Amino acid sequence: PTSESITIQSEELLKEKLNYILVSGDGKLVKRGRLTQNGQQINMSRFGGGLYFLALYANKQFVQTFRIIRTKN
């Protein structure tokens, strides 16, 4: 669980840049972006508490999905 941000560390980032989408538990896209370095953080402090899914893509191909629980402050 997180209340502020998540840190992404991936061996794929050492090979190529990854794109990500962050989707709320009800399926709404809440954020998208590009990961350019290993250990990059994604700020989640402005989102409400609940379940989120972070999907990583490289060259438009799915790499991995993470389930994230955002706790209320």
The first and second tokens of residue 34, run together, are: 């590009």
Residue 53 and residue 66 in contact, taking contact as beta carbons nearer than 8 Å = yes
Which residues of the chain, if any, have pLDDT below 70? 12-14, 73
Question: Residue 1's pLDDT is what?
Answer: 86
Instruction: Give the predicted TM-score (pTM) of the model.
Output: 0.87
**Distance of alpha carbon 72 from alpha carbon 69, whole angstroms:** 10
User: Cβ contacts of residue 46 below 8 Å, gap of 6+?
Assistant: none
**Distance of alpha carbon 28 from alpha carbon 23, whole angstroms:** 5
**Distance of alpha carbon 70 from alpha carbon 73, whole angstroms:** 9
